[in-house]
Structure formats: structure tokens, C-alpha cells
Structure 1
């Protein structure tokens, strides 16, 4: 038996639900179904942002917002002019969910619980009569006489329009290649660096405002860095991993980084400052108190690495020791050996080639009545609510068009 719908959406995640709700709100006559392969829907929403769901980011200017997308910057400019973070806030407010802005610009439900977002979506789909069908893993897709036929392991579905919102699902990408679509091969994005180094071994939990560069590349990033049990994390590292997703994958995650622990301070200026400190604090021991905006523990570690012993007084520092210390502070070299996934933020760089999508409608340029929403396309962002914003925007544009 075939089940007939006007529109089938494959993927019961953020993009799938948002698209479905917006379609039926604009045209209640349409019969819409969401097919989800798992037993539960909206799983990624549930665990995102540490279970609080980082809905979007307080960046309200489309031309600024696109700068957070290593892949998709150019293509998203038009879409963001149609539906941006401000529109997201308004949409959720209309649906009974109030959002709040945190100090770093990330936006969460006031309830601090991702369940609020899930309940909002489930309530809306129920109210609008959208069929949410779980345990429906798509096995094959056909297109015949302007009708899409979708086969799962238990059912057959027919629909005039097919929307794929399956995120980074290799099986679906493979099916799309049969329809002539090119898939940019997926590589991980948003990961932390594995570093075994005596300088940071005893310092998990210590943070600093830094500039990080990857040797022999143009990759550079500024922001907070967090030392962890396995190496380094924090926004500065995650940004680097997103912008460098392909480059670092090609290096097999073995590379060298340079860290300026004093943000972007110049080595010569720091040397000068250290000479002044040598005069001012002549009788004090160097390692005891950090004269910069660094924790004392990190400072002490860098002092010891520079060949300066624990009890050494400022007055006794040699020229070489001063230079070594300036170098450790502004240009520390660390060897990265592998990566670790960042919390549950499993983001993939890769997906449907952006040249094959009409970003005014989110429709495939190669197949009529085939649409894409969310992360199935080769768009991804750094952490902070931007990946969700791409899901909302693509879903909204798609719904408007349909």
C-alpha cells in the first residue's frame, strides 16, 4: 500500500520540523509527513548546548552573520536577508518560547531547557496535523511522472514534493548521487586538539585569551583557549578546527601550532616589558606572580620552561632567559597529535555541492520538486547557535516558496 502526501520531509530534526511547521502554517490544505529513521525525533536539539539548546546567536546583521560560516558564507547572504536571527526570536516568541541572550551572544530558551523547543515543535505538528512517522529508515528514492516514491523498510510513500533534511547522513548522500548530485566528501568540523606537552600537563581547566596559528598555513584564530586533560579546547581552537576542517583533515590531524598567550602582543614589546619588570621587581622571585593577564599556574609553567628556576629573582635573569620567556609567552610551539569530538557538537563539513542548489528557494537545480534544508548541504558553522540558524533560515525559505 502506498501512503500519499503532498510533501514528504525526510529527517525528524530541527530543519525537518521547522520546515514542516512553516509549510502548513502558510498553507493548511497541504498534507505533510516527516519520516524519521530513529525511534525519537529532535535528538540533536535535545543534547545541543549542554541540554539547553543554543537556538541562535545575537548577531542581527546578515552581512556579519555570514562570517561565522566557513562553508556557505557567500550563499547564505541572500537567505539571511529574508530570515535572520531577529526573525528566529520573533518566530519562537509567537510560538510561546521566549529566548534570552547570554554574555557571549549565544541565545537559549529562558527555561534553560531544550525540552521547551522540542515541546514547541511537537505541539505545533500535532495542532497542524503533520504526520510524524518514526522508525522509517529510507531505503530508496524514485522519481516517476512528477511523483516522488520513497521506500522505507516497512512502507511506501508517494509525494509531489520531497524535502531532505537528513543532516550528514552518508546513505542519503549516496542516493542523491544517483540523481546526479555531487557530494563534497564529509570531514569533521568543530573538534578539540590532542596535545601531550609537559607545559600544560598539570593545567587542565586553565583558560587564556590567545592567538593561535597553524604552521605552514594561513589559519589563525583569536579568542579564549581552554587547557583540557587531553590537550586544548575553547572557542579559539574550535574556530580553527572549523575553518581548517579540510586542511587539518589532509594533514591527518598531525600539525604544529604557535600560541601567543598574550593575545596578539608583539615579542619585542614583551621583551621590553620584561626588562622593565627586571628593574621594578628586582628582589621578587619571577615564577611566583604573573605580571600579565595569565593565571599564576600558567605563568609559572612558562617561566620554568624558559629555563628559569622556581626561586630565581627578577634581578638575576640573564638576557637569554628573558628572550626565552618572551618567546614562550608570544610564540609557544605545540605539537598536535589527533583530535577529539567537542561535546555533542558533531558537525560535519561536507554535503550537497552548493552550486547545485537555488538559494532563493532551496530547490535542487538538477531535480524539480526536490528540496534541501539544514546540514545536508555543504554548509557548516562554528559553535554558538549558527548551525541551527542555518536550519531555521533554509526551512523558512523553502516553506515560503512551497
Structure 2
């Protein structure tokens, strides 16, 4: 038996729910269903932001906001002028959820719980009579054309569906990408985007939990970033590393995650200025123990570790040789660490890859190749650094898509 809907949204995540709610609010008479292959919906929302849900980021200027997207910067400029972070705040406020801004610009519900966002979405879909069907794994998608329009048919593991408009919000789902490729779309092969670096090195071996604001660079490349760097039991993490992993997603995959990482633990201080500072400190603190007097705003345990790496153990400043001072300056401004592999950043798995952006009309989020087929969220070759930006892409795409359908009705 074929089940008919006006609109079917495949994917019960953030983009799927936001899109469905906006469509239904614009067009209350439309019969809408969300198909989710899992037993639960919004599972990624639940774990995002450490269970608090990093809804968006307090960057309110579209031309600035796009700079946080390694893939999608050019394409999102127009959409962000229509629905940006400030619009997200207003939307959630209108739906009973107030957001707060943290010091680093990330925005969370004031409840500090992702359940608040989940309940907001579930309540809205229920009130708008949107059918949410779980355990529906799509097995095939095909277009059925008439002289007037293109209809879509879907077979799941349980039922067959027919709809006038089909919206894909399945995120990084290789099986769905393969079906869309068979329909004529180009898929940019996916690679991980947000990940941490596996490093075994005596300089950081026992420093788990130590952090510093650092500049990081992939040796012999143009890839660089800066920000807080966190030492972990497996290597390095923190916003600076995640930023580098996002911008370098494809290049680092090509290197099979084997490369040399250059770390400037003092961020914006160069070799010459650090060398001059150390020489001045040596002259002024000749009788003090080097290990007890760290001249920079710097974690004490890391300072001691880098002193050891530079061959400085029990010396007073007066006894530090020119070579040791030079080696210490190198350790501080250009520490070289061998990266051997990556680790997923918490549960927030993000990929670079997906539907080729050239095949999407970003004024409507409709496929340029297939009529009445739309996309939103991470199914597209769009991804961002950590901080609420990937969710903002989902909200903006869903809003534009819903408006496009409203304008057709």
C-alpha cells in the first residue's frame, strides 16, 4: 500500500525537524512526515555541546559568519543574509526557548540542557500534526514524472511512500548519498572534519589537562590556526586543533593523518622576541632557578617539560648556555610533534563531503538537477569549525527551504 504525503523529510535530526516545523507553520494544510531510520530522533542534538546543545554562535554579521565554514563560505553568504544567528535566537525565543551567550561566543539554552531543544521540536511537530515515523530506513528513491510535475516515491524497510516534494536532511549517510548519486547528483567523497591529533611525545606525556593558547601549523603546508590547545592522554585537542582539523580536512586525509605539527606555545610571539625576552630575563634573574621562574603566562608543568627538552635541568639563569637558551626558544616557538592518526572529537562527528554545492540553488535549497528535491544540513558539502556553526547551517537551510515552498503554494 502506498502512503501519500505532500512533503516527506528523510532524516529526523536538527535540520529535518527545523525544516518540517517551518514548512508546517507557513502551510498548515500540508500533510508532512519525517522519516527517521533509527529508533530515536534528534540523537545528535542530544549529545551536542556536551549534552547542552550548542545552538548557534554570537556572530551576527553574515559576511563574518561565513568565515567559520571551510566548505560553504561562498554559498552561505546569501542565505545568511536571510536567516542569521540573530534570527535563530528570535526563532527559539518565539518557540519558548531562551538562549544565552558564553564568553567564547557559543550559545546554549539557558537550561544548559539539549533536552530543552528536543522538547521544543517534539512539541512543535505534535502541535502542527507532523507525522514523525521512526524505524523507517529508506531502501530506494525514484522520481515519477507526469506532464505537470515530478512526484517522488520511496520504499523503506516497512512501507512505500509517495510525495510531491522530497527533502533530504540525512547528514553524513553514505547509503543515501549513493542513492542520490544514482539519481544523477555528484557526491564529494566524505572525510572527517572535526578531530583531534594522536601524538606520543615525552614532552607532553604526563601533562593531560594542561592547556595553553597556541599557534599551530602543519609543517611544509599553508595550514595554520590558533586558539586554546589542550593536552590529552592521546595527544592534542582543543579549539585550535579542531580549527586546524576542519580547515585541513582534505589535506590531512591525503596525508593519512601522518604529519609534523609545529606548535608555538606563545601564540603570537616569534623566535626573535622570545629570544630577546629570555636574554633579558637571564640578566635580571641570574641567581634564580630557571625551573622556578617562568617569564611567560604559561602552565608551570609545561614550562618544566620544555626546559627538560632544551637540556635545562637544575641551572640558575646565570648558568644557562647560549645553546640552551636557543633550544628553549625553539621549544617555545617552534616545537615539532609527530602526529600519527586522529581521534573523533567527543560524539560530535562532522564530515567534509556530500552533495556538490554547484548542484544546489541556494535561494531555495532545491536541486538544480531534479525538480521538487531539496536539501538541508550536513548532507551537503558544508561543514564548519566547532562552536554552533554546523547547527546554524541547518537552521538557515531549513528556513530558506520552507520559505521557498511557502512562496510556491
TM-score, normalised to structure 2, is 0.98
Distance in 2 of aligned mates of 1:186 and 1:295: 38
Distance in 2 of aligned mates of 1:282 and 1:34: 71
1:363 alignment partner, one of 362, 366, 370: 366
Q: How much has 1:24 moved relative to structure 2?
A: 0.6
Aligned position for 2:267: 263
Aligned position for 1:187: 191
Aligned position for 1:176: 180
Any idea what SS the aligned residue of 2:391 has?
helix
CA contact (8 A) 1:289 1:296 kept: no
Q: Which runs of 4+ in 1 moved over 4 A?
A: none
Aligned position for 1:29: 29
Aligned position for 2:2: 2
Q: How much has 1:378 moved relative to structure 2?
A: 0.1
CA contact (8 A) 1:187 1:348 kept: yes
1:348 alignment partner, one of 351, 355, 380: 351
Distance in 2 of aligned mates of 1:288 and 1:336: 31
Any idea what SS the aligned residue of 1:157 has?
strand
Aligned position for 2:255: 251
CA contact (8 A) 1:210 1:236 kept: yes
2:386 alignment partner, one of 383, 386, 389: 383
Aligned position for 1:279: 283
Per-residue CA deviations over 1:363-390 (Å, capped at 9, x if unaligned) read 0000000000100000000000000000
Per-residue CA deviations over 1:193-223 (Å, capped at 9, x if unaligned) read 0000000001110000110010111000011
CA contact (8 A) 1:257 1:336 kept: yes
Any idea what SS the aligned residue of 2:352 has?
strand
Distance in 2 of aligned mates of 1:288 and 1:297: 11
Distance in 1 of aligned mates of 2:9 and 2:75: 23
Which blocks of at least 5 consecutive residues in structure 2 are unaligned?
none
Distance in 1 of aligned mates of 2:285 and 2:27: 74
**1:83 pairs with 2:83:** yes
Distance in 2 of aligned mates of 1:228 and 1:35: 39
Any idea what SS the aligned residue of 2:86 has?
helix
Distance in 2 of aligned mates of 1:153 and 1:297: 56
Aligned position for 1:118: 118
Any idea what SS the aligned residue of 1:47 has?
helix
Q: How much has 1:289 moved relative to structure 2?
A: 2.7
Q: How much has 1:160 moved relative to structure 2?
A: 0.5
Any idea what SS the aligned residue of 1:312 has?
coil
CA contact (8 A) 1:7 1:32 kept: yes
CA contact (8 A) 1:364 1:372 kept: yes
Distance in 2 of aligned mates of 1:289 and 1:158: 72
Query: Cα RMSD over matched residues?
Result: 0.5
